[in-house]
Amino acid sequence: MDITRKKVEEALEKIRPELRAHGGNVELVDVTKDKIVKVRLTGACAGCPMSTLTLAMGVERAIKKELPEIKGVEAIP
């Protein structure tokens, strides 16, 4: 695991308790060379109508706060 992936995992750990409180979670799938983080929302988050908001305002915000060099976060099925 490279440093960026490790740091993304650390950033995700900060938001996971909130996701778990609602029956969901987030899984890191990849960090691309162009600094795009790919995640998979799981549990209750996977089918939630608010998942787009959770991704942007929760997951992406948490990652970019810790790693401002990240260009974006994408959810994959």
**Residue 69: burial class (beta carbons within 10 Å; 0-12, 13-18, 19+):** exposed
Structure tokens at 49: 């109508």
pLDDT, averaged per 10 consecutive residues of the chain (77 residues), comes to 86 95 95 95 90 91 94 93
CATH (residue range 3-75): 3.30.300.130
Domain coordinates in residue numbering, the chain: 3-75
pLDDT at 77: 87
pLDDT at 23: 94
pLDDT at 46: 87
pLDDT at 1: 58
Q: How many CB atoms lie within 10 A of CB 67?
A: 16
pLDDT at 33: 93
